[in-house]
Chains A and B, each alone.
Chain A
Amino acid sequence: MPKSLGLLAAVSMVLASTTAMADYPERAVTVMVPFIAGGGADVPARFLAAEMEKELGQTVIVTNVAGAGGTVGATQLSNAEADGYNLGFMPVGTTTTQPHLRGTSYGVDSFIPICMVASGPFYLVVDPASGISSWDDFAAKATGEGLTFTGAAPGSLAHVTSVALGAMLDTEIQYLPTKGGGDAVNELKGGRADATAWFSDYDVRFGLNALAIFAPERSELQPEVPTTGEFGHPSDIAVWMGLFAPAGTPDDVVARLDSACETAMATDGFKGNMEKANREIRHMNSADFTAFFREAFEANGELLRNAGLVKE
């Protein structure tokens, strides 16, 4: 009797778990952002969560686990239960450069990309007072007297940009690291650095000039800014971010989240919020984002290895 009871319990547990998948989600879903609230990755995550909540019919909670370029939160997510209730909203750096730089316990196989949500291409920006007013001026100074590029810590996307520029112009560019954020602009304005990489709000926020955009095509937001490709150096450098689940999350759950993300991103609420906050939307579904993510992981690893930043 106890034996059959045990069997019965096992059967009903299996039943319960299959119905749980079919009914996903049946309780609150947590979306972890590996940076502090109000920051660059946090804002789109909250906008998305608000719309996905309506779509999924369950509360979507945004939590912040900050530290070490997002690796603390990403590590936590990679170890979390892969049941669809633990998701992460993470940017390019945390997922594709930090694993190479820091030897994190997570890697390219630790996460399933669900959807890309936002992407902000980088612009090459200078202070109007710098005397550099075109790509040619920039190239001339870089190869002539030499120039200083500033941005966040080594290994950051701004640093990757600096290394890429050096390769484009076949010269050495001095890199001045800062804590990141607006600190780099402080060095520009103070005349201690010549250029940095920033998003499309470089003019309204800082009053800076852009010489080029690191993208395959010109942006609708700043149509007068040429691409680096127009000068013979094609590039694609952007801070993108999206929704991830830990590896092992069931396929049907991923599919459910994939479609919920797409619906949420198509709502006027999401679009309006993103536009108001000056953020650029870019959607990719799970399949496309997975291919994109794997390619970016390899490409960034290669770039960082070439720059001598990878500790083997």
Chain B
Amino acid sequence: METIIAALQQFSTLGVLLALVVGALWGTVAGILPGMGTVAALIIALPFTFGMSTESSMALFLGIYVTSVYGGSISAILINTPGTPQSAATVLDGYPMAQAGKADLAIGWATVSSFAGGIFSLVILIIAAPTLAKVSVAFGPAAIFAIVLFALTCIAWLSEGSMVKGLMGGMIGLWLTTIGQDNLTGMTRFSFGSEILRGGLTLIPILIGLFALSEVLYRTAKPGAQTTGAHMNVGFRLPAWADMVSRWREFARACSIGTFIGILPGTGAMAATFVTYTAAKRYSPNREKLGTGEPDGLIASEASNNAVTGGALIPTLALGIPGDGGTLVLLGVMTIQGVVPGFDLINNNPQVLTGAFMMVLVANVIMFGAGMVSARVFERILRAPEPLLMGMILMFSLVGAFVVRGNPVDLIVCVIAGVIGVVLRIAKYPMAPIVIGVALGFIFEEKLRQGMIASRGSVWGFVNDPIALPIFALTLTIIVVPIIRRRKSTIAETKGQAQ
């Protein structure tokens, strides 16, 4: 109680509130803009914090951090382009729902899910941060590798009907992550002697190229396609209360998986959304409809990626170990402001921690409002003439691809990915498997290699790991069970036909 009062005294100022509102609004907008992800949004805001108080700069950054993930869902739903990598899975059900004329409802589902994920993970953060921080360090390379492997099986679900195309896409994605410097040996691979390729490829330019740029190029090549906004019913509509209550299991599963994976350092929101989506594909009562505009898909993606925000704050604040790219920059800013997250913060400055919790709570509430407002603004923007709209997407995409690293190779990669994206669209290859491959490839290889080094070159280290083993078993079950089922039903069918 004393800490709460101390926190209120320290943080409930007009400056802090203003910084939170500005942060939350900028976070939402940056999330919507294709290419402007969480990290880019934070970096752009960084210079402003130099003149601000410690409390206000924390507020600004927490506001951006919490809301930018949510903003990405709006562009995923409306223009088939995830605004942030974390929203890549939102495209799968969000866009079909929008095409069916229910864009307002899709945004409603995404908002409710994001809010639920954010609040759930915050509650966990408040109750159990120090305890869960201990759990997080117990997950070694083998265990995290097992989780990433599980997430990769999502490629199979997303490739139904064209399994070979999907798996090829996944392989290409994984291969792309091997270009450039290898983090664990320092060796350079597939750089073809080029100095700029040495830095390797990153996810964002590829993602922007495949989704946003290829959309622009495709529409330019195919003029006369209908204007986006008109038939979609863009706006904001909350789903019916009964609909939400009946899906409580989906919410609970997505929030728990998201929070949990968020806690594991370096695993990230992409893995969380794909693990959750795979789980929904297996356990949701509406699993047959996933991928066609099913709310369960939106819940799986949006509740889990926002739950990661609270989860990732646990090791960041409690251990000083950032959980993802966003928390890395967040930690940098707190350090500049003289607040050292970690040991000292938990033990000697609990009011700063409590203050951070309050700000996350308020940021989630503002996010809800920002969603309602920006959905309506977006409605107007989508009514703009198509060439203007496409021009804007093109500009923001290229800026977004460049801004994080400032490396010119990212622009070239983005354009190449855009052209490849058009070819893939025409050839009817699914795009998501490539993105999953790139998103998870880095950590997949890193943890595999680390595990191998730790066990001195023996694969038994992975099987002997008490946490990894059950996850491997679960992964195997999830692959094998549907195959056996299908076999059985084919056998039953042929028997039926024979009789």
Chain A interfacial positions (CB closer than 8 Å to B)? 36-39, 42-43, 46, 50, 63-69, 71-73, 75, 101-102, 104-105, 148, 153-156, 174, 176-183, 185-187, 189-190, 192, 201, 203-207, 273, 276-278, 309
Contact = CB atoms under 8 A, between A and B. Distances in A.
Contact of A179 (B137, B140, B343, B446): B446
A72 B266 contact: no
A310 B341 CA distance: 37
B336 interface: yes
A75 B195 contact: yes
A3 B54 CA distance: 65
A36 B405 CA distance: 6
A275 B182 CA distance: 35
A182 B332 contact: no
A50 B50 contact: yes
Interface residues of B, number: 55
A177 B342 contact: no
B200 interface: yes
B336 A203 contact: no
Contact of A204 (B138, B182, B198, B340): B340
Interface in B402-460: 404-407, 446, 450, 453-454, 456
Contacts of B404: 36, 66
A241 B39 CA distance: 24
Contact of A192 (B42, B46, B406, B454): B454
Nearest to B446: A179
Interface string B332-364: 110111101111100100000000000000000
A292 B26 CA distance: 45
Contacts of A201: 340
7 contacts: A72-B405, A102-B198, A153-B182, A153-B186, A186-B321, A276-B336, A278-B335
B181 A68 contact: yes
A43 B331 CA distance: 12
A185 B331 CA distance: 15
Contacts of B335: 43, 277-278
Contact of A185 (B43, B320, B328, B341): B320
Given A38-B329, A190-B140, A153 B184 contact: yes
A300 B78 CA distance: 54
B47 interface: yes
B186 A101 contact: yes
A189 B186 CA distance: 25
Contacts of B454: 148, 176, 192
A105 B195 contact: yes
A182 B133 CA distance: 13
B178 to A, nearest CB: 14
B475 interface: no
B139 interface: yes
Given A38-B329, A153-B184, A72 B340 contact: no
Most chain B CB within a 10 A radius of its CB, from A101, A154, A182, A186: A182
A64 B265 contact: no
A37 B284 CA distance: 42
Given A205-B320, A206-B342, 17 more contacts: A36-B43, A38-B42, A38-B46, A43-B336, A64-B406, A65-B407, A72-B405, A153-B183, A153-B185, A154-B184, A154-B185, A156-B186, A178-B450, A182-B265, A182-B315, A203-B343, A278-B338
B335 to A, nearest CB: 6
Nearest to B185: A154
Nearest to A152: B183
B332 A205 contact: no
B486 to A, nearest CB: 40
B366 to A, nearest CB: 23
Contacts of A69: 181, 186
A189 B319 contact: yes
Contacts of B342: 204-207
Given A66-B406, A182-B321, A206 B180 contact: no
B198 A71 contact: yes
B199 interface: yes
Contacts of B491: none
Contacts of A192: 140-141, 454
B265 A183 contact: yes
B187 to A, nearest CB: 8
Nearest to A148: B454
A39 B453 CA distance: 28
A50 B336 CA distance: 14
Contact of B186 (A154, A190, A205): A154
Which 8 residue pairs across A and B have the least CB separation, nearest first? A67-B199, A38-B332, A207-B343, A182-B321, A204-B344, A276-B338, A205-B320, A189-B137
Contact of A72 (B185, B196, B343, B344): B196
Interface string B21-63: 0000000000000000001001100110010000000000000
Interface string B179-214: 011111110100000011011100000000000000
A178 to B, nearest CB: 7
A72 B407 contact: yes
Nearest to B322: A182
Contact of A190 (B139, B182, B329, B337): B139
B325 to A, nearest CB: 9
Contacts of B136: 186
A67 B328 contact: no
Given A72-B196, A182-B322, A192-B454, A65 B188 contact: no
B319 to A, nearest CB: 7
Contacts of A105: 195
A7 to B, nearest CB: 40
B379 to A, nearest CB: 34
A68 B200 contact: yes
Contacts of B406: 63-66, 73
